[in-house]
Amino acid sequence: MDRTAAFQAGRATSHPLRRRARSASGHPNAWPGTTLRLCRWHLQKNLSAKLTKAGYVETHEVTHKSETALDDLGSWRKFGAAAKRDGDLELLTWIDKHDDYLRTEFSAGVLPAHYSNGTVERALQQVKTSSGVAPSVCATQDERR
């Protein structure tokens, strides 16, 4: 019996992905006051992968709503409603897992960009706003060269 079959049959004591998740969550955080922020690029990449794995085609309503789901809270809600109507359990689990985080991010402003400065981004945005400097968009890799 291979490892996956043994695990599914309840005979294996540990699965590699679960072991990795346990070990990651078991390490103390070097900066306990920081909050892990997910960037828009990675969220969109993971959402697209989830839709592809679930077999959604480009013309499906859920796929269409996913294109703007990470723009703002209203679009996120519309995407969530479309996904609920369709009922794919894995997608609904992904949405539920990210819902609180995204609602918090949308209420505070925009999602961090790929290659952003993470946890200090909000503070920098406040400084730029109060000083009259327009917040800049993160440069792409091509623009940095």
**How does DSSP assign 33-97, residue by residue?**
T------HHHHHHHHHHHHHHHT--TTSHHHHHHTTTTT-HHHHHHHHHHHHHHT-HHHHHHHHH
Q: Taking all residues of the chain, what is their mean pLDDT, rounded to a whole number? A: 74
pLDDT tens column, 9-67 = 444 444 444 444 444 445 556 767 766 778 888 999 999 999 999 999 988 999 999 99
DSSP-derived secondary structure letter, 10: T
pLDDT surpassing 90 at residue 70: yes
By the 8 A CB rule, do 47 and 36 touch? no
Domains of the chain by residue range: 38-111, 119-145
Residue 105 and residue 35 in contact, taking contact as beta carbons nearer than 8 Å: no
Which pLDDT score is estimated for 74?
Answer: 94
- Cα(67)–Cα(126) distance, integer angstroms: 28
